[in-house]
Amino acid sequence: MCPPTYVAVDYAVNPWMVPSAPVDRHRARRQWETLRRTYCELGHRVSLLDPLPGLPDMVYTANGATVVDGVVLGARFRHPERAAEAAAHRDWFRTAGFTRVTEPVFVNEGEGDLLVAGDVVLAGTGFRTDPRAHTEATRVLGRSVVTLELVDPRYYHLDTALAVLDPTTIGYLPEAFTAASQSVLRERFPGAIVADPADAAVLGLNAVSDGRHVVLPAQASGLAAAPAGRGFVPIPELLKGGGGPKCCTLEVRA
Catalytic residue set: 157, 247
Q: How far apart are CA 65 and CA 114, in angstroms?
A: 9
Q: How far apart are CA 119 and CA 117, in angstroms?
A: 6
Q: How far apart are CA 254 and CA 252, in angstroms?
A: 6
Burial 118-154 (b: 16+ CB within 10 A, else e): eeebbbbbbbbbbeebbebbeebbebebbbbbbebee
Q: How far apart are CA 88 and CA 78, in angstroms?
A: 16
DSSP 173-210: -GGGB-HHHHHHHHHH-TTPEEPPHHHHTTTTT--EE-
Question: What values do phi and psi take at 116, rounded to 5?
Answer: -80, 125
Q: How far apart are CA 26 and CA 28, in angstroms?
A: 5
Q: Are 127 and 148 in contact (CB under 8 A)?
A: no
Handedness of CA 143, 35, 22, 204 (dihedral sign): positive
Q: How far apart are CA 221 and CA 218, in angstroms?
A: 6
